[in-house]
Amino acid sequence: MSWGSRACTLLLAITVTVSETNTTHKESIAVTACVAGDGADASPALAELAALTLRIGGIRAHAVPPPELCVSPSRADSVACQKAIFTDLGQGKLHVALLSVPAGSALSSWLLRNNGLDDLGDVIISPTRRVCVAPPPARSILDLEDALIARKYYIPREKVVELQADMQNITLKNETKLPKMYEPEWCNSNTSCATIFTSDVGEARLLYEVVRENYLRAIVLPLGTNLHQITNSINNRTLVCDWNQHFQEPFYPLGPPSCKMDAEKCHFESRRVVKWINTRALARSPSAVRALRRLKVNFSGLQELATKKRDYGVEAGALAFLSDHPVRDNVRQLRVVTFLPEDTKREVYNSSALMAAAVLAARDLEGLMPGIATFKVQTYDDRCNAVQAYKYLIDALGTGDYDALTAAVGPACGVPFADVVRQGPSHRLPALAYTPQSPPSPPAAPLALLAAGDARSIGSAVAAFSTNLGWRRMVSLSETARHSALATASFGVDFIVNLELPDERPEYDPSIFTLWADRVARANGRIIYISVEDARAVRHALCAGHKSGLTPSNGAVWILPSGLPPNWESPKGDTCTAEEIEEMLLGHISVAQEWMLPWLDDNINTTKSEELQSWEYRWREDCQMLNKPCDKPGPYAVLLYDVLKLWASALKKLIIARPAALDDLHDTDLLKSLVTNTTLIEYEGLTGKFEWIKLSKDGAIFARSSPLIIYQWDGQRRREIGRWFDDKLELEGSALKWYTADGRRPDDGHDRCALQPLADLFNTQCRTATILLVSTLLGVTIVILSGLMVYCKRRAEKKYRAKLEALTLRRLPLVKSVGLDPWEIPRERVVINRKLGMGAFGTVYGGHALLAEDRGWTAVAVKTLKAGASNEEKLDFLSEAEVMKRFDHKNVVRLLAVITKTEPVCTVMEFMLYGDLKNYLLARRHLANSDSGDDPEEQVSARRLTSMALDIARALSYLAQMKYVHRDVAARNCLVSARRVVKLADFGMTRLVFENDYYRFSRKGMLPVRWMAPESLALGIFLPASDVWSFGVLLYEIVTFGSLPYQGLSNSEVLNKVKSGQIITLPTGLKPQLEGLIKSCWQTEYKCRPTASEVAAFIADTPRLLSPCLDLPLDAMSLDVDSWRMSKERAEARWVSWAAPPSATTDVTYLSADAPRENDRFLP
């Protein structure tokens, strides 16, 4: 290794160390080491070396001392030390530990991983072990049991004192300066005991334990750092026990004592120095893991490291060691693979020009990052085949190429590029396109860079050009790779004939193109768009078109791809001549990006700068060295060179900012940021300045932005006729020249029709214009008819109301025609003696009526119409009576008589002693929580509640049979008779449903939204099934003893909740059968709800189905403290309002005396 490399490494290490001294250790990696040998010097030096290695890679790290159980006089290789490090790593106190473990009984990898740890392999290349060496005659340490052999290794203490004094250049006058000697009692002042020398106190204690266990005649003396110097001076009488002793004659290794079953007692077993890490702490730093994996030191290096620590200190010693032993693989190789379509029968891109450009870029970029990394460009022939391209990616995973691979440039062909970029996320490899390509799907989008632009933009330019010229019919010939550029939605034209060629065919069948051209001719197609990569397909299409008469002179306009290979128009066994192809090419249209123009074969009067000419000269030299045909590089070869330089610049910028990125080249987040940062570089290459646009709202993929030039071929050169940029078309109409027989602009071949002016006005076809006109006329007709129907309906309703009002309210003698005569009784036969309440129409009184001479006086309820009622209210009042007269059921309140001939109009109904069911339950709520003895009449027992629910179900079943919907089924509209039979009342909202089985509400008014079904709230439709929904809410009221449904919500909130499919939260304690019944009534789809008769049958089979559930609180009502200031009538009305609905704020019914509010109105 040169002195220059050593100096660079030392300078970098010093810089990193100095910068670390001013940083906190809060987010720094804690590294420790605990290895046996060389006393206490090797461990801190090795820990500092590992931390310094991480810091050089740009990772914050610092060395920390090991646990106390690993420090002398304890041993670094003890089981206790290993457990202490294991615990500290698991608790996060340490992040990296280099420690000695038994080579044959180390902890298993699964145990480490289960505790969040991992083993990165050995630090020291070969295992180490504790060994004893000595000259003959001893062959084993156990030979020291023999006093004769032990005597040969006896060293007098005075000799050791003398040698130590000489080495320290001091005079030891007494033995107190000597290290402690470990001497068994049988060797006290006995010359027949050997002297065993070792390094530190921890080793001395272990050897002393061996001596005592095996009754060896030996004493143990630790010499510390002077071990080797003193023992070399004693020479042939030395017996040394330490780690990995390098021995020469006459020294030989002694056999160790037998190993015990306990691993703690197996002192002479081989040891590995391993690297344990806390995987959670290093999870976000894979570069740290890779740097630690590369950290290797041999045993002699460890001894050198310990020596430098003693000489210079911990940090300086590690720096000096790293300077003498720089990391040899510091210079990495960064590689890109460039896919080229070389060995293929497809005539696509100029592979020779591309190869020479890649070689030239490789030579120019090789020294881009000296001392850090080398940039290599590898070329690979994908044969324009997706399988071949993907084969390289698979093979790279099994070789060493993948780690250094930073990106895939290409392939040039569309299908293999789509395959490579789609596999980018799984291989963690960006894909850079140097030919126009369509953007990939979202998973692969962040790892793709479309340096040649978005292929779809060419289609957009062609579409805008066609629309501007009034062409609405088009013919296309495409390949799978270009399918997205032909999206009909973006073109806005009608593709009357479309042929998509199969991919990767070795040869094309000319008959395919002949049939296609014949179809085009029969369909009178004039505008022909060819969107392919293979020049063979273009020639075949032109030849077939010529034979079918699709020539420019006959009005055909050919739109051909730009950037085809050189001399592509020359026939190669085609079915037409060069003159015929030249005739077909006359006046054709092409679209190319602006940066391509200087490099096209026949450019538009562009001149190249000296820099471009110099590059082309160098390119031609490389091309000749490759023995390739060299004419002109073409636009894509130049762009390939620019892409390679741009990517190398982005890599250099990244590595300078983050040196650790060299170890994270396949980190997904790093690659995404690298691709994004590449677009931020202000790079101007041979193809001009690179500017980028985001192709999606979230900015997932970038494509190069460049104006598109629309040009026309005049037979000798290309002439610019328009530009497309930023979705704007600038067309120079005067530059267009048409080669038709009459010189006029050709049309798209559409048929002329009577509605042609209308079609031209809307820029559409005759068929579309006809459909548009018919649709408009039909719509106007429907609107007129609908308006007429509404007018007739309202007129008929107005006449009906006027007639009914005249017949019933103005004392005309035609009341019988309304059908109320049989029910009419004189007012003198009704006696009112008390007020029961107030409703929406007026006041309800209690009294008696003489309905028949032979029946006597009957208790009745009399409902009167309030004074000053509107005509609509009068009609509704009489309509309720008209409905009630048709009902005759024991669970429906009966209408007994009416009084309409004199004011006020009244209806006489049967009297219900206990009032409405809601107040009945509220008044007896206390009985539900008491013992059965408090309710001897079983007013609120389970049987009673079930019987009440059954009464209402039977009433609803009856109404359904009569083809009526009640529309307001609630506890307040159910009345309880003296025999506690519940009857359905309040038929003010009841309607006949006729043959359609539903009634649509079409007027403004207050509605009971808390009891209404979703179809009623959303559409204003009421069905018998809507009453079943309301019955489910009624069951909720019964079991909760009058609790308000959707308590705490406003009417508008309830409306939104029901429409969204949510239902009332049921109280706990419901029987499963009842819960299932209620939920079946609340099915959102009305067809799924049971009928009222089915509900009645189910309840009849379960006589104790309903039981009290009083977990829910009652709704609260705020008392008006100033109500005593109101008039008596208003105060009573307000009280009655409380009695009828539970809360005027949250309950909307027809019985409320309060005025309706805006948010109570549901229909417009």
What is the signed CA dihedral for 644, 649, 654, 660, rounded to 10 degrees?
Answer: 70
The values of phi and psi at residue 196, to 5°, are -100, 120
The answer to whether 863 is a known ligand-binding residue is yes
Are 470 and 695 spatial neighbours (Cβ–Cβ below 8 Å)?
Answer: no
User: What is the crossing angle of helices 610-625 and 351-365, to 10°?
Assistant: 110
Closest CA to 1066 of 1080, 1053, 1056, 1084: 1080
1111: which 2 tokens?
Answer: 């977990």
Q: Which residues are CB-contacts of 142 (< 8 A; sequence separation ≥ 6)? A: 214, 216, 255, 257
Q: CA 791, CA 782: separation in Å to the nearest integer?
A: 14
* Nearby residues of 427 by Cβ (< 8 Å), 6 or more positions away: 393, 397
- The verdict on whether omega for the bond into residue 1067 sits within 30 degrees of 0, i.e. cis, is no
- Other CB atoms within a 10 A radius of the CB of residue 995 amount to 5
Among 216, 267, 235, 270, residue whose Cα is nearest residue 133: 235
How far is the C-alpha of 707 from the C-alpha of 592, rounded, in Å?
A: 9
Alpha helices in 809-895 (DSSP H): 871-884
The CA dihedral of 85, 86, 88, 89, to the nearest 10 degrees, is: 110
φ, ψ for residue 477, nearest 5 deg: -135, 120
Amino acid symbol at 466: S
Q: List CB contacts of 856: < 8 A, sequence separation 6 or more.
A: 850
Contact 923, 913 (CB under 8 A): no
H or E segment to which residue 1136 belongs: helix 1128-1139
DSSP H or E run through 241 = strand 239-243
Site of tokens 């061996």 = 210
Class of residue 800 by CB neighbours under 10 A (exposed 0-12, middle 13-18, buried 19+): exposed
- Determine how many CB atoms are found less than 10 A away from the CB of residue 17: 18
Question: Which residue is listed with tokens 């539970």?
Answer: 1142
Amino acid at 167: M
Give the DSSP H or E segment for 922: helix 917-923
Beta strands in 125-174 (DSSP E): 130-134
What is the DSSP secondary-structure string of 374-411? EEEEEEEE-TT-HHHHHHHHHHHHTSTHHHHEEEEE--
Give dist(CA 1069, CA 523) in Å, integer. 75
Extract the tokens encoding 826.
């004189």
Distance CA 44, CA 36 (A): 12
Chain centre to alpha carbon of residue 1032: 42
Question: Quick one: DSSP state of residue 1084?
Answer: S
What residues contact 1023, with CB distance under 8 A and at least 6 apart? 965, 993, 997, 998, 999, 1015, 1086
CA–CA distance, 51 with 1018 (Å, rounded to integer): 71
Query: Which DSSP helix (H) or strand (E) runs through 277?
Result: strand 271-278
Q: Residues comprising the binding site?
A: 863
Q: Residues comprising the binding site for ATP?
A: 863
